[in-house]
Amino acid sequence: MSELTGTGTLLRLAWRRDRVLIPVALLALTALSVGSAQATLDLYPTEAAAKAGLGSVLANPAVEAMYGPIAAENLGALAVFKTVVMGAVFVALLAYAVVRRHTRVEEEVGRLELVGAGVVGRRAPLTAAMLLAGIAVVAAGLLSALGLIGIGLDAAGSVGFGVAWVIAGIAMVGVTAVAAQLTTSARACAGIALSVLAVMFVLRAVGDTAGGGAQVLSWASPLGWANKVGAYGPNRFWVLGLAVALAAVLVGLAYSLLDRRDVGAGLLPSRPGPASARPSLGTPTGLTWRLTRPSVVGWLAAFVVLGGVLGSLVTSVADMASDPAVVDMLRKLGGSAGSITDIFLATELAFVGVAAAAAGIGIALRVASEERSGRGEEVLATATSRSSWLGAHALIAFALPTVLLLVLALVVGLGAGGQGEVPGVSSILGAAAARIPAVLVLVAVALLASAALPRWAPAIGWGALAVAFALGELGATIGLPDWLVKVSPFAHVPQLPGGEFTWTPVLVTTAVAAAITAAAFAAYRARDVA
Amino acid sequence: MVVPVNTVIETRDLRKTFGPTVALDGLDLTVPEGEVHGFLGPNGAGKSTTIRILLGLTKADSGEARLLGGDPWRDATELHRRVAYVPGDVALWPNLTGGETIDVLARLRGGIDERRRAELIERFELDPTKKARSYSKGNRQKVALVAALASDAPLLILDEPTSGLDPLMERVFQDELRAARERGHSVLLSSHILSEVEHAAERVSIVRAGRIVETGTLTELRHLSRSTVHAVVRTPVGQDISGWPGIEDVVVDEAGTDIRFSVDAEHVGDAVGRLDRLGITNLTCEPASLEDLFLAHYAQAPESVTV
Ligand SMILES: Nc1ncnc2c1ncn2[C@@H]1O[C@H](COP(=O)(O)OP(=O)(O)OP(=O)(O)O)[C@@H](O)[C@H]1O
Ligand SMILES: [Mg+2]
């Protein structure tokens, strides 16, 4: 029997299971790229208008850190400026989700064993998962390229844009394939793969913002490659070769790891543990804390590192945009009286807030995943009330993003606070704190979804974050009406540091989070445990 | 309180539907205190649904359920201090050890008897230092069983607790059940298989399609079933023996001396007396097979069971 026997059947099975997820994701991605490009074209009908309007914004290092440098000063490059790298991150997330779903998750719940006992080659399940993810990634690039050509943009540049997305996607297919071989738990696989993605992003952001030799860092990251294609500018299609080579190496590594291990096992064997539980494990909160500790520690470490990176960037930001005309323009556009440094920090905090929300949502969704696995039932059959079980998760889910934001602000503040134009520790802490209520609204939504609709909780929880991010951070760019943008809690966060602080939006957002949380508790008490 | 204190489980006309599926269709179940009660029925009969309602995990559409004199939905948390539960499909936290899991489940319920815990771990030959992800199915089941049995709760609710246990371990489990009964504890023991509850249960209820179709002590149920008799007699008989009281399925050979029939429990003596008068040369009387009664209940529509 060949190593790959059965791949076709498994590929069809995987497609059958993902036939909603993938088309919806492809549709959303195409809408993102084509929609935002069309909005830019509507806003700047001519090249001259485009150059005049956005030329100076593009010199903003905060914007460069998030979206990468613009490929060229023409209409096409401007139209896709915000979606090349951000969209590439989303494509990478899609690739990651598909590969992980059909490999480590299947293995952990034991279904792969059922499959493996059939006429199926050893490498077939992994191959089928990678093929499906690869097809989805290429389809995402292709659809966007066609859509962009469709709205009248340059064909070569549009293909370049599609290539940029494919680069990020296939690199992530390889990364996830390797991560799935390393550990026995699907959660740990997620931790490894997403950390690698975060590192790729940070490398690219640092490379694109910091000048001089550090620029080479962008070339060390597949997300940097996506930007280096230079769609509508140099159109370096050959960069795709780098991604194909990287993916080939990673896939080879994943295969060789797979060949060396048993089904269900990871590379690291399970070691014996304590024969009895410590006293702290005997309460719902103690148990939840113990179960979430690895992910809490991982997030904390990531935020400390991120704080260090931002702290070292922020001091050099002022030098890079020292042209008084640019500074003046930025102030007007940002509606903020702050300095370049303030605007840089405010922008970075916005993105960091999204990551912190993701951390809290991950914890809140555990209520649903524990229930689906059957362990929730075992806990609720003890003297643990539903409120205390949900409360234990709510506590950690709300505390984690709060602590993460404050820790990051503290690291940035202690590293760079007060130097040159950089605001002091307390005002950086205040800026981070002002963002917490908006983050908690999204965590509360995930909690409510877990409490009311456990089956749909992951889709609702992550979907709400994606929508809030798209509306709040990209909504204005895509040209959405103001009332729609305001649906996002992120749209109500005061632009700090530098901007005006007002209590009303912060208090209202906090009240909304509290109300959603109360609804979650009520819903959880009222329904059947599935 | 409507329910006398000495009834630990009482449901009346319990109904529950899941969309188009009728899971419980007027289920009446009573378990008096101190009894090991077998809860038998085919796949999908509604055993787990009943148990989940009794544990307050699921809300019944209508009907009444009482657990230890309380309302299982409203008073769930309080009642659970006195109930230990083992689900049919035990799921454990993959990165906790078996020992940690036992402690967590028992402490969440309100405490554990350390001496019993050690004794049970030894009797079930469980390695408590192993991570749950590396346990076999039977060992996962043992973890849940030890956590339940060591808790000293006066009511045990066990949903197919022996699935996955080897015969030796099943015997240990049966011993523990008897010990629990001797301590005066009550047990609701759900199963598909009669032999599993036969050893320990004094009364059983058979559920089918969401209703109890038979309930009683094992002796009472035995009475419901029929014995098969095969006799060889000296004096030939005609087919007229089908007129004997309580007799059915008569087969007599051409010579009229080889007789087979089935007879209900009340009329066995009468039938044997009549055979005796014909001069018995050989007689086998197979006792009532409960297994046949169960299989008949499993296979047929609830109302039309005859054995
Ligand atoms: N959450 C649910 N959603 C939909 N249908 C359900 C649900 N739970 C149970 N059912 C249905 O209710 C019926 C009774 O199921 P139940 O689990 O109580 O059976 P059971 O007697 O425990 O069976 P088994 O011996 O196989 O465990 C079945 O038809 C089942 O499909
Ligand atoms: Mg069941």
- What is the DSSP secondary structure assignment for residue B134, as one 8-state letter? G
The pLDDT score that the predictor gives to residue A217 is 85
Asked if residue B278 and residue B183 are part of one domain, the reply reads no
- pLDDT at A466 exceeding the cut of 70: yes
* Maximum mean pLDDT: which of A83-87, A162-166, A182-186, B40-44: A162-166
CA dist., res. A275 & res. A272, Å (int): 9
d(CA B48, CA A374): 13
The answer to whether the Cα torsion of A393, A399, A401, A403 is positive or negative is negative
Per-residue confidence (pLDDT) for residue B198, from 0 to 100: 80
The CATH code of the domain that includes B193 is: 3.40.50.300
Q: Compute the distance between CA of residue B203 and CA of residue A480 in angstroms, rounded to an integer.
A: 69
pLDDT at A480: 77
Q: Does the beta-carbon distance from B100 to A380 stay under 8 Å?
A: no
Mean pLDDT in residue range A410-436: 88
- Region of A280 on the Ramachandran plot (φ > 0 left; ψ -120 to 50 alpha; else beta): alpha
Distance A386 CA to ligand 2 centre (A): 23
Q: Which residues contact A329 (CB under 8 A, 6 or more apart)?
A: A56, A57
> Which residue in the set B80, B95, B128 is minimally distant from A381, CB to CB?
B80
Question: Tokens in use for A66?
Answer: 């998030």
pLDDT band for position B218 (cuts 50, 70, 90): confident
Residue with tokens 């609204």: A441
Is B56 among the domain residues?
yes
Which of B93, B170, B33 has its CA nearest to residue A187?
B93
The answer to whether the CB atoms of B131 and A272 lie below 8 A apart is yes
Separation CA A404–CA A426 (nearest Å): 16
Chain A touched by B72 (CB under 8 Å): no
pLDDT, mean of residues A465-490? 82
Going by alpha carbons, the residue nearest to atom 27 of ligand 1 is B43
Interface contact flag, B129 A377, Cβ < 8 Å: no
The pLDDT value recorded for residue B109 is 87
The answer on pLDDT for A325 being more than 60 is: no
Q: Which atom of ligand 1 is nearest to the CA of B210?
A: 14
pLDDT of residue A436: 96
Q: What is the mean pLDDT of chain B?
A: 87
3-class DSSP state of A478? helix
| Claim to verify: residue B186 and residue B245 sit in the same structural domain | no
A528 close to B (CB below 8 A): yes
Name which residue sits closest to atom 29 of ligand 1, judged by CA: B44
Please check whether residues B217 and B230 belong to one and the same domain: no
Which ligand 1 atom is at minimum distance from the Cα of B45?
A: 21
A369: confidence class by pLDDT, cuts 50, 70, 90: very high
- CB of A387 within 8 A of CB of A524? yes
Regarding predicted confidence, which is higher, A74 or B116? B116
Note whether A270 contacts B108, CB cutoff 8 Å.
no
Q: State which of B14, B16, B21 you would mutate to test the pocket of ligand 1, scoring each by most atoms of that ligand within 8 A of its C-beta.
A: B21
Q: For ligand 1, say whether the CB of B21 is within 6 Å of any of its atoms.
A: yes
Q: Looking at the predicted structure, is the pLDDT value of residue A333 above 80? A: no
Report whether B201 contacts B189 (CB < 8 A).
yes
Decide if pLDDT at A111 tops 80: no
pLDDT of residue A44: 79
**Structural domain boundaries in chain A:** 1-266, 283-530
- CA A444/CA A364 separation, integer angstroms: 8
Residue from B11, B39, B49 whose mutation best tests the ligand 1 pocket (most atoms within 8 A of CB) = B49
DSSP structure string for A167-211 = HHHHHHHHHHHHHHHH-S-HHHHHHHHHHHHHHHHHHHHHHHHS-
- Whether residues B65 and B166 fall in one domain: yes
Q: Which of A108, A290, A378 sits opposite B105 (nearest CB)?
A: A378
Going by CA atoms, what residue is nearest to atom 19 of ligand 1?
A: B44
The angle at the Cα of A375, spanning A374 to A380, to the nearest 5 degrees, equals 105
More confident residue, B286 or B60: B60
List B215's β-bridge partners, or say none: B205
Among protein residues, the one with the nearest Cα to ligand 1's atom 3 is B18
**How many domains, chain B?**
2
From the CA of B88, how far away is ligand 2's center (Å)? 6
Domain check: are B159 and B278 in the same one?
no
Mean pLDDT of the region A418-447: 91
User: Ramachandran region of residue A287, left (φ > 0), alpha (ψ -120 to 50) or beta?
Assistant: alpha
A334: pLDDT strictly greater than 50? no
Compute the average pLDDT of residues A265-273: 69
CA distances from A23 to A28, A143, B125, B131 (A): 9, 11, 51, 39
Closest by CA to A129, choosing from A192, A172, A89, is A172
On the question of pLDDT at A98 being above 50, the answer is yes
Q: Is the pLDDT of residue B115 over 80?
A: yes
- Pairing relation of β-strands B258-264 and B226-233? antiparallel
Interval between CA A182 and ligand 1 midpoint (Å): 37
**Shared domain check, B78 and B159:** yes
Residue with tokens 């014996």, as numbered in its chain: A272
Is B70 an interface residue toward A (CB < 8 Å)? Answer: no
Q: A221 or A81: which carries more pLDDT confidence?
A: A221
- Confidence band (pLDDT; 50, 70, 90) for B1? very low
Indicate whether residue B192 lines ligand 1 (CB < 6 A). yes
Shortest CA distance to B18 belongs to which of A373, A378, A528? Answer: A528
Of residues A14 and B241, more confidently modeled:
A14
pLDDT at B303 over 60: no
Taking an 8 Å cut-off on Cβ atoms, the answer to whether B109 and A291 are in contact is no
Does B26 reside within a domain? yes
Cβ contacts of B76 on chain A, cutoff 8 Å: 380, 385-386
- A12 backbone dihedrals φ, ψ, rounded to 5°: -65, -40
Write out the residue range of the structural domain in which residue B188 sits: 7-82+154-221
For the range B17-22, what are the long-range contacts, defined as Cβ-Cβ under 8 Å and sequence gap of 24 or more? B17/B61, B22/B209, B22/B210
Tell me the pLDDT tens digit for each residue of A499-511: 778 889 999 999 9
Final residue belonging to a domain, choices B168, B190, B221: B221
**CB distance from B88 to chain A under 8 Å?**
no
Q: Is B232 buried (19+), middle (13-18) or exposed (0-12) by CB count in 10 A?
A: middle
- Cα–chain-centroid distance for residue A479? 23
Q: Is the minimum distance from the CB of B191 to ligand 1 under 6 angstroms? A: no
Rounded to whole angstroms, the Cα distance separating A102 from A185 reads 13
**Phi (first) and psi of residue A50, to 5 degrees:** -60, -50
Among B250, B256, B249, residue whose Cα is nearest residue B233: B256
Same domain, B158 and B271: no
pLDDT category, B154, cuts 50, 70, 90?
A: very high
Gap from B54 CA to chain A (nearest CA, Å): 10
Q: Is the pLDDT of residue B166 over 70?
A: yes
Closest-CA distance of chain B to residue A528, Å: 4
In our burial notation (b when 16+ CB lie closer than 10 A, e otherwise), range A447-483 reads: bbbbbbebeebbebbbbbbeebbbbbbbbebbebeee
Residues B198 and B280 in one domain: no
C-alpha A60 to ligand 2 mean position (Å): 62
A292: Cα within 13 Å, side-chain hemisphere: 28
CB A21 within 8 A of CB A133: no
Q: Which of A9-23, A239-253, A414-428 has the lowest mean pLDDT?
A: A414-428
CA-nearest residue to B111 within chain A is A282
Higher-confidence residue of B163 and B1: namely B163
Q: Are A40 and A70 in contact (CB under 8 A)?
A: no
Q: How far apart are CA A289 and CA A291, in angstroms?
A: 5
In chain B, the residue whose alpha carbon lies closest to the alpha carbon of A529 is: B57
A148 contacts A80 by C-beta, under 8 angstroms: yes
CA atoms of B19 and A221, how far apart (whole Å) = 51
Of B18, B40, B51, the one to substitute when testing ligand 1's pocket (max ligand atoms within 8 A of C-beta) is B18
What is the rounded CA–CA span in Å between residue A123 and residue A125? 6
- Specify the pLDDT at position A319: 63
- Give the nearest partner residue to A275 out of B83, B107, B128, using CB atoms: B128
* A108-112, A420-424, B29-33: the lowest-pLDDT one: A108-112
pLDDT value for B305: 46
Last residue of a domain, one of B221, B242, B273: B221
Average pLDDT rounded to a whole number, residues A406-434: 88
Distance CA A222, CA A200 (A): 7
pLDDT (0 to 100) of residue A477: 64
Same domain, yes or no: B78 and B14? yes
Is B86 in contact with B161 (CB distance < 8 Å)? yes
CATH number for the domain including B265? 3.30.70.260
Across all residues in chain A, what is the average pLDDT? 87
Length of chain B: 307
The verdict on residue B98 lying in a domain is no
* C-alpha closest to that of B108 among B155, B159, B142, B148: B148
Structural domain includes residue B277: yes
CB atoms within 10 A of CB A244: 15
Q: Is B163 in the pocket of ligand 1 (CB under 6 A)?
A: no
Residue B44 Cβ < 6 Å to ligand 1:
yes
A279 φ/ψ angles, rounded to the nearest 5 degrees: -55, -35
Assess if residue B106 is contained within a domain: no
Q: Minimal Cα distance from A280: which residue of B? A: B104
| Cα–ligand 1 centroid distance for B45 (angstroms) | 7
Q: Of A91-105, A142-156, A316-330, A461-475, which range is least confident? A: A316-330
Query: Can you point out the beta strands (E) in chain B?
Result: 7-18, 21-32, 36-40, 62-67, 83-86, 155-159, 186-191, 203-208, 211-217, 226-233, 247-252, 258-264, 280-286
**If pLDDT is split at 50, 70 and 90, which confidence band does A190 have?**
confident
Residue B53 lies in a domain: yes
Using CB atoms, pick whichever of A276, A385, A529 lies closest to residue B100: A276
- pLDDT at residue B251, rounded to an integer: 87
Pocket test for ligand 1, best of B16, B17, B43, B48 (most atoms within 8 A of CB): B48
The residue nearest atom 24 of ligand 1, judged by CA position, is B43
Mean pLDDT within A453-468: 92
* Residue A108: band (very low, low, confident or very high) from pLDDT cuts 50, 70, 90: confident
- The average pLDDT across A121-129 equals 91
Interface test with B, best of A291, A366, A382, A385 (most B CBs within 10 A): A382
pLDDT digits (tens, 9 = 90+) for B75-107: 988 999 999 999 988 889 988 999 999 999 998
Percent of chain B at pLDDT above 90?
Answer: 47
- Pick from A172, A160, A178: nearest CA to A226: A160
Answer yes or no: is pLDDT of A335 > 60: no
Helices and strands in chain A, H and E counts? 24, 0
User: Residue A295 is inside which H or E element, if any?
Assistant: helix A284-320
Are A287 and B108 inside 8 Å of each other by CB?
yes
The pLDDT value recorded for residue A248 is: 97
